[in-house]
Amino acid sequence: MNHPLPNSQPPTLCPLCDDTGWKPISQGNIRRVTRCDCRLHARSLSLLEAARIPKRYEHCELANFECDGPHRSLFPARHAANKFAEEYPLDTTGLLLIGSIGVGKTHLAVGILKELIQSKGIPCLFYDYRELLKEIQNSYNSSVQATELDVLRPVFETEVLVLDELGAVKPTEWVWDTVSLILNSRYNDNKTTIITTNFPNEPAHTAEAANSEFTRARRATAGETLGDRIGERMRSRLHEMCRIVQLQGADFRQTMKSASFR
Ligand SMILES: Nc1ncnc2c1ncn2[C@@H]1O[C@H](COP(=O)(O)OP(=O)(O)OP(=O)(O)O)[C@@H](O)[C@H]1O
Ligand SMILES: [Mg+2]
Ligand SMILES: [Zn+2]
């Protein structure tokens, strides 16, 4: 007995791009093509997975970064982040996000990464500075399989790297060498780095300067600077690699806590 063939549907083509992966767009009189949403979606899922965004920050988006009402002072930082995400990769200058504890630096950095991944399909990587140095140090242990280069390769190669909490490890010769290896290698390859730090973007307290009235006073009030933590040379390199974005505001964690008690 003959069974009719199951009703096989012809595969549906993507209505935007006919499965070419490129869809036409027009800007004024100029017609161009851009990556189609169908490809971006599949690609962004795998890029997001590869980006190593910590669970704690998975909710962070540019769109849910508050910068009105009581958080108005954060508006310039959000604006700079949006502008960066819009202009990349025409402008590949990175960002150095500076601000006190809990002001939203990591949120903004993760928001940018997700925007680059989701709208432009750009390979990105998130690394906490302490975590990265720990993984490199671990690789020297003979019982660990990964070599130093296994850890560093994706850090060197990714198109956009977020290095969170730069300077958070007590500086030693090895720490300085490692930071300069990472930053210099990305700089030489013209790769974009987004950095966050709690340390003020000020020079190191050099031996010669240490005795001046000004430096002594500043050290007493402000504590260590970014220059102290990563060295003046690397701080100056950062100025070539990044635009400085200052985040002004209160500790968001405290604000949320007190709001929930009201
Ligand atoms: N403007 C904002 N709008 C919405 N949520 C925010 C904002 N700023 C911070 N948050 C939230 O507050 C928490 C702390 O922010 P985040 O971790 O980004 O601060 P940080 O500046 O990186 O702090 P730290 O110096 O401790 O690393 C996060 O959960 C973040 O999502
Ligand atoms: Mg942070
Ligand atoms: Zn398509």
> How do residues 147-176 score in pLDDT, each as one tens digit?
999 999 999 999 999 999 999 999 999 999
Residue 8 pLDDT > 80, yes or no?
no
- How many A from CA of 49 to the centre of ligand 3? 22
Q: What percent of the chain has pLDDT over 70?
A: 88
Residue 84 pLDDT > 70, yes or no?
yes
Are 107 and 256 in contact, with CB atoms under 8 Å apart? no
Q: Is 158 near ligand 1, meaning CB less than 6 Å away? A: no
- How many A from CA of 261 to the centre of ligand 1? 19
For the sheet containing 94-98, what is the strand order? Answer: 124-128, 160-164, 192-197, 94-98, 242-246
- Residue 95: phi and psi, rounded to 5, are -130, 140
Report residue 28 CA to chain centroid gap: 33
Q: Is 102 near ligand 1, meaning CB less than 6 Å away? A: yes
Domains of the chain: 35-261 (3.40.50.300)
Are 35 and 21 in contact, with CB atoms under 8 Å apart? yes
Nearest residue (CA) to ligand 1, atom 18: 104
Q: What percent of the chain has pLDDT over 90?
A: 75
* pLDDT, mean over the chain: 90
Q: How much is the pTM?
A: 0.85
Query: 96: how many CB neighbours lie within 10 A of its CB?
Result: 23
d(CA 54, CA 171): 25
Question: What is the per-residue pLDDT across 209-238, written as a single tens digit (0 to 9) for each?
Answer: 555 565 555 555 558 999 999 999 999 999
